[in-house]
Structure 1
Amino acid sequence: MKLNSLGLPKKETEILVAELNILLANFQVYYQNLRGLHWNIRGKRFFDLHLKFEELYNDSQLKVDLIAERILTLGGTPLHTFEAYVKNNRLPVGHEVSKDEQAIHLILECLPLLLKIERVILKQAADIEDEGTNSMMSDFIAEQEKTIWMLSAWAEQEI
């Protein structure tokens, strides 16, 4: 078995990098959804949600950078074009969402789909003992599960 400079199996690491690129593309779409929600939110909950969406998109922007840097660390090349993001996207895209409940529901549609990709990566990383990727995915998953819980409570919806 050929190992890379990190001591990880080359072939399996290439597969992991491909999945990380899918996550990167989907996070870019999620980030853009959040920017749109931040810009377009209207109504009596404007001030609270405007700030919350800014918090979420800033967090997403950091995660995008972490994912891209992990791809580079593993010897891959991060996707970096809108064409690649759209091609690999699995998330719904928000179009002119301005109502509070509609905005929260869009986020609640996106997060479980991100979690699904992250759990695939978590398993792949664990299988090849890639603790760096595994740790990053664990952190992402824990944060996003908490966000789902909080937004579900806001929307008075069962998890």
Structure 2
Amino acid sequence: MNRIGLVNEEVKELSVQLNDLLANYQIFYMNVRGFHWNIKGDKFFELHVKFEELYNDILLKVDEIAERVLTLGESPVHSYTSYISSSEIQEVVGATDANTTVGTILDGLEVLIKKQRVLLDLSDRYGDEGTNALMSDYIREQEKLVWMYTAFMG
């Protein structure tokens, strides 16, 4: 057992999954940041603001995930080489139109929600309330984002 009452072997498994989630969030963040900078067209003003709100929220989550790994007694992954090699979410370069950017965000949210559901189940099984609460909050927030971005797409 570690100092927060979790089994060391279980913590290692949780940390591997959290680091995988962290890598996906980092690539997702850079994609959204790029969309914010490069969006063009008649939806520019609306999406420029929405993308900024989203990337600011993602950045907070990146920090929370890394700090959760540290709280569990492990080390967060912190190189873009590692992020790129392990992330299911891929870098998107050159996207400037509303449909491509919003569609890519929806694809990214789908990946994140799936990974967070795995962590939700795993953290529940291992009695890790801290990770469980984070994942539950993230899923709830992102399900609403999926609804809203899907409605935007028509």
TM-score band by shorter chain is over 0.9
Residue matched to 1:50: 48
Q: Is the 8 A contact 2:84 2:90 kept in 1?
A: no
Write the letter of the residue equivalent to 1:108. Answer: L
Residue 87 of structure 1 deviates from its aligned partner by 1.4
Q: What residue identity is the alignment partner of 1:62?
A: L
Aligned to 1:5: 3
Provide the TM-score with structure 1 as the length reference. 0.95
Superposition TM-score, scaled by structure 2 size: 0.98
Match for residue 34 of structure 2 among 23, 33, 36: 36
**Identity rate, percent:** 47
Of the three residues 122, 131, 134, the one matched with 2:132 is: 134
* C-alpha distance in 2 between matches for 1:92 and 1:111: 12
Deviation at 1:92, TM superposition (A): 3.1
Superposed CA deviations along residues 27-76 of structure 1, whole A, max 9, x for unmatched, are 00000000010000001110110000000000000000000000000001
- Please state how far the C-alpha of 1:135 moved relative to its aligned partner: 0.2
Structure 1 runs, 4 residues or longer, greater than 6 Å off? none
**C-alpha distance in structure 1 between counterparts of 2:110 and 2:97, whole Å:** 21
Cα RMSD of the aligned pairs, angstroms, is 0.6
Number of residue pairs matched by the alignment: 154
The aligned amino acid for 1:48 is E
Q: 2:116 aligns with which of 90, 115, 118?
A: 118
Q: Secondary structure at the match of 2:130?
A: helix
Residue segments in structure 1 that go unaligned for 5+ positions in a row = none
Partner of 1:84: 82
